[in-house]
Amino acid sequence: MLLRSADLALPAQLDAFGLSPEQLHPVGLWQDCYYQAAWTDSPALPDAEHGWHGLRALFGSMDEGLLGLASRASQLAEWARTHRFCGACATPMRRAAGERSFQCPACGMTAYPRISPAMMVLIRKGEAALLAVHAQAPYKRFTALAGFLEAGESIEEAVHREVYEEVGLRVQNLRYFGSQSWPFPHSLMIAFTADYLDGEIRVDPNEISEARWFGPGDEWPEMSATVSIAAALINAHRPR
């Protein structure tokens, strides 16, 4: 995200990038202002006052409303960047009229913004909860289990499959907790709680570095990114 480095403010103008109207994508209204998103292949900066900032690094440093808007903008910009050409015949894509999509002028293939549903679950066993360190996560900290849905799978089926694959447990009594759009890269996180049914912890090292039960007498991990649904899920069940 391009920001003024001194105060993490949005740039006043982007003339230096020479953006055309076709590169701008409407994001929406926030605090009575209209916002658009764009992407660029060039890492060049308009001046020494601005810099590129990763969204994850802005957690806790930027207004949560603006960060949510930036997350939406990031997903739209990534969709536009990766759909410049038709995935079926490689013809340059065109913006469709009347809806948010790209359409191929040669074969008619239409591409909408990609959304990848993913489950998240906090497993309860009495007063304890299972937390794990995800092997591929950029930050190594204990959190709830999570994983992407596979084709033809319901969200409930994904919960049962991912829990068994990642930690070797079976669960029951799934209860919906909440959902959140998550821009890494274009996810919809759908969170549940579940009760432990049976099994012993057996981690898949390709997915999980460590998993264990946290009870009332344990020191639960602090969640640095309080804007995430993972933090909300864990904090809602943290012993008081």
Structural domains of the chain, with CATH: 2-82 (no CATH), 85-113 (no CATH), 116-236 (3.90.79.10)
Contacts of 139 (CB under 8 A, 6+ apart): 56, 224
The helices-and-strands tally (H runs, E runs) of the chain is 3, 14
Cβ atoms of 118 and 180 within 8 Å: the answer is no
State if pTM tops 0.85. yes
CA distance 227 to 198: 32
* pLDDT tens per residue across all 240 residues of the chain: 999 988 888 887 777 677 887 788 999 888 999 999 988 888 888 888 999 999 888 887 888 888 889 999 999 999 999 999 999 999 999 999 999 999 999 999 999 999 999 999 999 999 999 999 999 887 788 999 999 999 999 999 999 999 999 999 999 999 999 999 999 889 999 999 999 999 999 999 999 999 999 999 899 888 766 778 999 999 999 887
Cis peptide, bond prior to residue 185, ω within 30 of zero: yes
d(CA 53, CA 50): 10
